Amino acid sequence: MNNTEVKNKSYYRNGYLIIVIISIFLFLAFYHLKSELKVNVFLAIYIQLCGLIFLLSYYFENNNFIFKFAMKICEKYSTIKSRKNAFFYFGLATFLTILNFTSLN
């Protein structure tokens, strides 16, 4: 096995692992909607993980295909086409997470 095959395996394995982790927290957030608690902790973790993907994509764009896709969103599909939009999306996710925890009625 040469070096490019190992790199390709880890490239896809890391991306699929991120998809599985995000999916688990999304399903837990949907399951938690039926509970009596006022704060959905799993939704906050899911939103924060999505923001963390954008933050990590700024630093590790070529690590896996999820980070490449997140950076493509920042550079091609945002109104301000810049890599620094990753910081904005991370800040937005952090703000939404704080908003989720402070919405105790």
Q: Write out pLDDT tens, residues 80-95.
A: 888 889 999 999 999 9
Question: Does the structure show a pLDDT above 80 at 67?
Answer: yes
| Mean pLDDT over each residue of the chain, to the nearest integer | 86
Select from 4, 15, 9 the least CA-distant residue to 64: 15
CA 55 to chain centre: 8
> At 58, is the pLDDT very low, low, confident or very high (cuts 50, 70, 90)?
very high
CA atoms within 13 A of residue 84's CA, in its CB half-sphere: 1
Write down the pLDDT at residue 11: 83
Whether the predicted model's global pTM rises above the 0.95 cut = no
Q: What whole-number distance in Å separates Cα of residue 86 and Cα of residue 77?
A: 12
Please tell me the predicted confidence (pLDDT) of residue 3: 63
Top-confidence range, 36-40, 52-56, 74-78: 52-56
